[in-house]
Structure formats: C-alpha cells, structure tokens
Amino acid sequence: MMRILIIEDDKQASAYLAKGLKEVGHMADQAADGDEGLSMALDGAYDVLIVDRMLPRRDGLSVIQALRKSGNHTPVLILSALGQVDDRVTGLRAGGDDYLPKPYAFTELLARVEALGRRPKSGGDVETVYRVADLELDRLAHRCTRAGRDIPLQPREFRLLEYLMQHAGQVVTRTMLLENVWEYHFDPQTNVIDVHISRLRSKIDKDFDTPLLQTVRGAGYTIRTGSGREGADRDSTAG
C-alpha cells in the first residue's frame, strides 16, 4: 500500500485515477492546482506524486522544482499531453522521475507508479542479488541461476531480466522495457518486445514446473511466484 498524491486540475481525470489507485489498495489524495499540490506534497508524507504538467496557478514543472529545492525527494511521475522526447527530457531535467504522456492506459500508469514507489532509495542499500522463488540474478557476478542451474543469458537478456526482477511483483509495460532496457522512446508497432520476452521466458521457465515470467493481458509482464502480488525477496549489501 502506498500513499499517492495526484496533482491534476481535470476533476474527472483525477477522480478516475484516485478511484483506480484505491481499487488496487493504495491511498490517493487529490489536489486541483499547483499551489495546493505543492503545499500538500510538502506537508504529507507521500510515497509517490503524480503531477500534471499544465496546472492552474503554478505549473507542474515549477511544483517539482520547488519541491526538490526544499529537499523533498519523493518520486514524481509527470503526466502530460506533451509527449515528445524533448518534452520528456525537459520534465525529467526539472526533477521528475518518470514521464507518461496523455492519453495513457491506467495499467501503464499503475505499473510506473509502483515501479517508482519501490525503487531503491538513493544512498541506501543496493541489492546485488535479486531472488524470486528459486530464480537468482547476481548482478555483480553477472550470473543467473534457477534451482542451482546456470542459465546463460545474452547481455540484453540479462538487463531485461534484471529490470523485471528489480520490479518483481509489479507489472512492467512494453514501453517501460523499451525505455529502460534499450533506452529508446518510441512506440513500436510490432510485437518486438514480446519476442525478446518469449526468448527470455524459454530460458528461465521452459524446463521448470512453475512459470515465473507472466504476461499480464493488455498491460505488460510481471515476474511473480505463483499468482500472488508479493515482491521479490532481496539480498541487501551495504553500498
């Protein structure tokens, strides 16, 4: 469960978002303009902020800049009708942590919010080994094993699995994978990401009874044990 603040002036969109977030078990507060949003963000202890770029009284980027200036590092997801690469760059440079262009699918927003909420805090412990059930990914040794058996992975497959395991238990969309694993921001028309996922799946799931890498229909993929939403069991090493 996360506490999420939605700063969005379109009441309908904001209510729809809040309702959706509450349905999956999060707490959601709403602010209708930049000033109100900034003061709520500064007062309340939120896990993630969802900020629209174009807001009355104080625009979204200025809210984020003011927040960062005051030493608040709550992860921010920027929502905007401006979705081109340079718009994203501007948003991320202003202090945003992720950027989602409108119109968006709720599943994608949820996936991104959860990814932000569970992201390792900077300066804290850095996980060097990710574990989900009997699957282990050693980031230092660059080694992947399942039930003690070595699974050879290509570098890109390794990064793909790494990103999925980093967000274990959460839905990760195709766009998030393209952005974070290949570092490109475009919308492929073909099933290009699915092909890579299916290759990875054939390596980590094929010879085992429990499939770990699952497709979430209409949304993306998730690494999870069984059907629960539990997160990854992680080893932490002070770093």
The residues binding another protein (CB under 8 A) are 83-86, 103, 105, 156, 182, 184-192, 195-196, 198-199
As measured in angstroms, the least distance from the Cβ of 215 to another protein is 16
**Tokens found for residue 154:** 């290509």
- 56 prior amide bond cis, ω within 30: no
Q: Which residues neighbour 198 within 8 Å (Cβ) at sequence distance 6 or greater?
A: none
**Tokens found for residue 69:** 């200036």
As measured in angstroms, the least distance from the Cβ of 185 to another protein is 6
Cα(80)–Cα(50) distance, integer angstroms? 10
Cα(96)–Cα(75) distance, integer angstroms? 7
168 or 177: whose CB is closer to another protein?
177
As measured in angstroms, the least distance from the Cβ of 61 to another protein is 19
24 or 85: whose CB is closer to another protein?
85
Please state whether beta strands 126-132 and 98-101 pair in parallel, antiparallel, or not at all (unpaired).
Answer: unpaired
As measured in angstroms, the least distance from the Cβ of 161 to another protein is 15
188 or 239: whose CB is closer to another protein?
188
114 or 179: whose CB is closer to another protein?
179
As measured in angstroms, the least distance from the Cβ of 20 to another protein is 15
List beta partners, residue 132.
135
